[in-house]
Amino acid sequence: MRPVRTRLFTAAFVAIVASCTGLLFPLVLKWIVDGPVADRDTGGVWLGALLLLGLGVVEAVLFGFRRWLVARPLAGVEAEMRADLFRHLQRVPVAFHDRWASGQLLSRGTTDLMLVRLFLAFPLTFLVVNGTTIAVGMAILLAQDWTLGLVLLAPVVPMVAFLAYFEGRYAAVARRAQDQVGDLTTVVEESVLGIRIIKGFGRHRSQARAFRELSGTLRGTELAKARLLAAIYGVIMTLPELAIGAALVLGSVQVADGDLSTGTLVAFLSTALALRWPVESIGFLLAMSQEAATATERYFEVLDAEPESDSGAGTGQGPGSPGSAPDPGKAAAVAAVPAPRTPADGIRFEAVEFRYPDAPDAAPPVLDRIDLHIRTGETLALVGATGSGKTTLTALVPRLHEVTGGRITLDGEDIAAMPRERVRTLVSMAFEEPTLFSASVGENVLMGADGSAGDAELGRALAIAQAAFVHGLPKGADTQVGEQGLSLSGGQRQRLALARAVVGRPRFLVLDDPLSALDVHTEALVEAALRRVLKDTTALVVAHRPSTVLLADRVALLSGGRITAVGTHQELLRENAEYAWLMSGGTDE
């Protein structure tokens, strides 16, 4: 809020002036009743009416001015908070996204931020405005007649105690409701993205049942909120009304006894009635404040997550070290400068260990003392049974995860001492599960290159990936592929992901079983094209089939989180029974 605080403070001041202007109405009424009405002065009555009209116009203009002051800047605050959240989600580690449901993140970036904006626009201001109005109004009431003023003040203590009790309960229910909205959003998102699975297995009824159960749970929570609000409103509206009724009776007696003028009683009751809305609004203003507080807490649960930290070479800071967060400007500058050529060394894994952050302390590491050297210009195939840690090992090279022991070097340079932008400029990846974005084919492929890549690079990458099908699409490379590329087949998506990996001519290439969705004929064509690419790069390729292994110069066998054998394909077939079993098509479960 700091950038717009001047306008917010101005808006609050304007609203206070407008609200206090409304408190002048009873004083004008008192003057009309005790003056022109008592004296039967028609002209005075008209003058009083014009004065009331003028005050009403001033009040309306001031409230309109307040709305104009806050509408645009608060929309900007919401937009900036949403942009901050999005930027932060790009910077937190992959492990963070593994733990969080996407629906929970979506609800924080939409519903929660809307609640925060509404709070800043209305409850925040009017909690101050109405509190000030009530204080000024009570001072006016006590000045007019202190005995009647004390009657109206009588409900304050029980109301405050009651509100304190119920607001605490309401906060807990509001948090539960917002978490349930996130769960419901996750179910909807998964059902939309997985519609082919749901229809293919005839699971629409079970999905609908799961949705109804979550929706029913959320409905019950919302009803619990409604019951709490009803109790709050009941007390807030009943106690002041009883006090006003008591003041009316007592004031009428005083007028009858001649101790109080009629105009004073009219002004007193008019002021009391003018304070009804500020008092009654306290309930829903506090309710909205609790929801906004919960929304803000949920927002900062994400924003307070530690982002990926970078370490500059020679700083002595490792991953996650305090104060090692990158300066965006410096990081961009580093990424833009080509990496200095050190004596060719390729990729080295030196006593590398890795365990996931949320793994139990007693659990063995996923990777245990990995020692491996991929020489410059060499292609190494990584083979292993399911769950042996192949994908985890490949994710360590571009620092999608941080090693928990040992180190990885690129051409002799520790990646932990390199800014991530530079590491990811040097290393390109193709994942086993190809992810495409709601953009054109060309835009998806060129994500793997810097901004200078054009049609020539795009055409080369598509040719290597044997993605000639692109030319047959309605708009060629400009064809939109739709959400997650579901308009394409699995093999087509995988070929585009491979094209994205090679389009930038990376120095280091990491391929996680990139040909698993291809038919044998297309696979042979892609492999032939890949051989030419692999001659000019240093590559680590996760392989499950002999045809993919034959792309490599050497093969490493990963078993139980350790490298148990390294050699050529033929050597391992002769000397290692586990490798021969895997290559013969034996199940790797």
**CA gap 288, 40 in Å, rounded:** 49
Residue 539, strand partner residues = 379, 509
pLDDT tens-digit profile of 527-578? Answer: 777 777 788 888 898 888 888 888 888 999 998 889 999 999 999 988 889 9
Q: Is residue 218 part of a domain?
A: no
CB within 8 Å of 68: residues ≥ 6 apart: none
* 137 and 233 belong to one structural domain: yes
Residue 554, strand partner residues = 380
Range of the domain at 244: 2-179+224-303
* 558 and 473 belong to one structural domain: yes
CATH of the domain at 152: 1.20.1560.10
* 465 and 576 belong to one structural domain: yes
* 276 and 343 belong to one structural domain: no
* 348 and 286 belong to one structural domain: no
pLDDT at 252: 87
Size of the chain, expressed as the number of residues it contains: 589
Q: Is residue 324 part of a domain?
A: no
Residue 509, strand partner residues = 428, 539
Report CA 299 to chain centroid distance, whole Å.
Answer: 7
pLDDT tens-digit profile of 408-453? Answer: 999 888 998 888 888 888 888 888 777 778 788 888 888 888 766 7
* Distances, alpha carbon 193 to alpha carbons 187, 188, 210, 487, in Å: 10, 9, 16, 12
| Paired tokens of 345 | 């060394």
* 299 and 353 belong to one structural domain: no
pLDDT at 320: 37
CB within 8 Å of 112: residues ≥ 6 apart: 178, 295, 296, 298, 299
* 297 and 153 belong to one structural domain: yes
| pTM for this entry | 0.63
Q: Is residue 200 part of a domain?
A: no
* CB under 8 A, 24+ apart: contacts of 106-111: 106/182, 106/185, 106/189, 107/178, 107/181, 107/182, 107/185, 107/298, 108/182, 108/295, 108/298, 108/299, 108/301, 108/302, 109/82, 109/85, 111/178, 111/181, 111/295
Segments of the chain scoring below 50 in pLDDT: 312-343, 587-589
Do the Cβ atoms of 512 and 535 come closer than 8 Å? no
* 401 and 479 belong to one structural domain: yes
* 288 and 379 belong to one structural domain: no
Q: Is residue 208 part of a domain?
A: no
Q: Is residue 390 part of a domain?
A: yes
How many domains, in total, are found in the chain? Answer: 2
Q: Can you list the alpha helix ranges (DSSP code H) found in 353-419?
A: 390-396
Q: Is residue 217 part of a domain?
A: no
* Distances, alpha carbon 460 to alpha carbons 206, 453, 511, 533, 534, in Å: 46, 11, 18, 11, 14
Residue 284 CA neighbour count, 13 Å, CB half: 10
Angle between the N-to-C axes of helices 24-32 and 262-274, in degrees from 0 to 180, rounded to the nearest 10: 160
CATH of the domain at 409: 3.40.50.300
pLDDT at 557: 92
* 436 and 345 belong to one structural domain: yes
Residue 408, strand partner residues = 349
pLDDT at 536: 80
Report CA 128 to chain centroid distance, whole Å.
Answer: 30
Q: Is residue 455 part of a domain?
A: yes
pLDDT at 479: 85
pLDDT at 70: 75
* 297 and 400 belong to one structural domain: no
